[in-house]
Amino acid sequence: MASASGLTEVVLYDTLVNYLVSMARTVEGAMNRALDAIVSLESSRTSSLPGEVFLLEPRINEMEIVIDEHAIRLLRRGSFSDDEMRLIVAALKITNDLERIGDLAVNLAERVISLREIPDTKIPEELAPMASAVRAMVSKSLGALIFRNVEMATQVLESDDVVDQYRDRIFEQLLQRMTQEPALVSPGLQFILATRHLERIADHATNIAEDIIFWVRGLDVRHGRGLAVLSESALPGEDDSNVTENSHALHSNVTPACETERA
């Protein structure tokens, strides 16, 4: 039978993971609201979404502090397995990326408010598919976190270039329109900023995926390092068949520890 101290250690590390998942759920909710608002500017259904994003930001910031404090408590215990140490290091980095995604959701919500004040605003054709690609990257990165699934995390890394291509094409199209019609400069600049926010969300999802690979496999794949080793050592049977569009179904069996502790 495991000792009481051993059980305590397990609970502490499981709590850290639950904290991460709870924060990830909240961040994903804020991001989804911002994405829905930016791709449905003319819909009255989405008019309240920017305000909801603003209300979620303080909760996200508080969750970041809770997780950092818990990770520091674990560090003070002073005795770790390799897996535990990688988890603590990854957690401290993942919370930073999650908090930044929350900030970028706020930035997107601000773009929505500005664009709603401009009459006859035309949404760039590829903005919706770009938003869908970003949404899928975040969903898979969170699925990788919950299931410790390296295959999902690898798919996130492979998707980053797609988002960059959308950003470049939208920028070129907007620049051409703004050059031809000066009246389109104001909304065009707002959409350019929006695509920049989307691209940065994708970058943070990539960072999270890299940290999950480090935690689970002990491989540092930043800047393309170790990807060949990762593909060769991929475990059979890892897939994303259980990942929904927004990954909410993934979390049904995970205790939202942050929300209960800091309501």
- Closest by CA to 206, choosing from 60, 66, 56, 100, is 100
Q: pLDDT at position 155, please? A: 94
Q: pLDDT at position 228, please? A: 58
Q: pLDDT at position 156, please? A: 95
Size (the chain), residues: 263
Q: pLDDT at position 239, please? A: 44
DSSP assignment string, 63-109 = HHHHHHHHHHHHHHH----HHHHHHHHHHHHHHHHHHHHHHHHHHHH
Q: Name the one residue in this structure whose structure tokens are 């496999």.
A: 217
Whole-angstrom CA distances from 134 to 14, 40, 112, 127, 140 are 28, 16, 17, 11, 10
Q: By the 8 A CB rule, do 18 and 260 touch?
A: no
Q: pLDDT at position 244, please? A: 37
What are the domain boundaries of the chain? Answer: 4-261
Q: Please return the burial class of 94, using the count of CB atoms within 10 Å of its CB with bins 0-12, 13-18 and 19+.
A: buried
Q: Please return the burial class of 12, using the count of CB atoms within 10 Å of its CB with bins 0-12, 13-18 and 19+.
A: middle
95: left (phi over 0), alpha (psi -120 to 50) or beta: alpha
Name the average pLDDT for the chain. 85
**pLDDT tens digits for 125-153?**
999 999 999 999 999 999 999 999 999 99
For domain 4-261, give its CATH number from 2.40.40.20, 1.10.3720.10, 1.20.58.220, 1.10.10.60: 1.20.58.220
Q: How far apart are CA 56 and CA 149, in angstroms?
A: 28
Quote the pTM value. Answer: 0.84
Residues of the chain where predicted confidence (pLDDT) is lower than 50: 1-2, 4, 7, 235-245, 247-263
**pLDDT tens digits for 47-71?**
999 999 999 999 999 999 999 999 9
